[in-house]
Amino acid sequence: MNTLKTAALLTSLTLLMMFVGEYFGGQNGMVLAFALAAVMNFVSYFYSDKIALAMNRAQPTTREQLPRVYSLVEQLTYKQGLPMPKIYLLPTPSANAFATGRNPKHASVAVTAGILDLLDDEELEGVLAHELGHVRNRDILTSSIAATLAGAITMLAHMGRFAMMFGGYGGRDDRDRNGGGIGALFMLILAPIAAMLIQLAVSRSREYAADASAAQMTGDPHALARALQKIDASARRLPMDASPSTAHLFISAPRLRASDLAGLFSTHPPMEKRIQRLIGRESL
């Protein structure tokens, strides 16, 4: 069901992208938008992991450098029959982690220096199991493609602004001359919002699924709940500065709190709701 939901959401993004292209550029605009969607899917599929790691200054590590992380990940992957992912370290005191990769054979797990200092072994195991849950569920690829296409739709909407300024690119000229400019204005506003909401739907549902996978892997949902509570409290004191294009990958949304108005547009569900789903109440 989750796979079908993701496929439907990604298809909706592509169709929305084509609709925006057709609105402002007619048949040629629709073809261009479809080609752009195809390119974005290709780039996301093969290079999203490298882009995400580079943007967050992740450094490859060895077993000697992070024996604690390697030991926990090896135990988890052995139990689940998963390949051993590459391990990366983000040199920041903020507590966070993320996974990336197009499939389990090409996966990477990155942790911050801050999360290693903050969590005990059971809690860290819960976080690593959460990230491996994303890998096992193949969440990373779909959410990366959704984010990339959402950004492309926003870019098309900005291109539409210039189309309005210079008389359009040849799409629906008759309607534009009869007052279609108001419709174009709504398109400029609503298209990026629609794309963003679809992206958020993918990310939020995947976080709940990864939490559930982690609880199943470790057999200890309370350990992950403690970790999430600690990470949330730490983020309020020491927020992490990350690129919006990769914020959806992290276990905790950088610089966003669900209690704020900005939480409406967060790529993550409220931490209290995640904890409640794990242990039946919002806090320990």
Hey, which residues are catalytic here? 131
Return the structure tokens found at 245: 């294009």
**CA–CA separation, 24 and 175 (whole Å):** 11
Order across the sheet with 59-60: list the strands.
59-60, 86-90, 108-112, 97-100
Return the structure tokens found at 49: 């992991």
* DSSP per position, 50-93: HHHHHHTT-EE--TTT-HHHHHHHHHHHHHHTPPPPEEEEE--S
Q: In terms of C-beta distances under 8 Å and separation of at least 24 residues, what long-range contacts does 62-66 make, across chains too? A: 65/89, 66/111, 66/116
- In DSSP terms, 60 is beta-bridged to 88
The residues, ordered by sequence, that sit 6+ positions from 210 with a Cβ below 8 Å of its Cβ are 130, 131, 133, 134, 137, 139
Q: Which of 86, 64, 91, 60 is nearest to 73 (CA)?
A: 86
Half-sphere exposure (Cβ direction) of 24: Cα atoms closer than 13 Å: 27
**What is the dihedral sign for C-alpha 79, 80, 84, 89?**
negative
> Do the beta carbons of residue 91 and residue 59 sit within 8 Å?
yes
Q: Which of 9, 4, 7, 5 is nearest to 150 (CA)?
A: 9
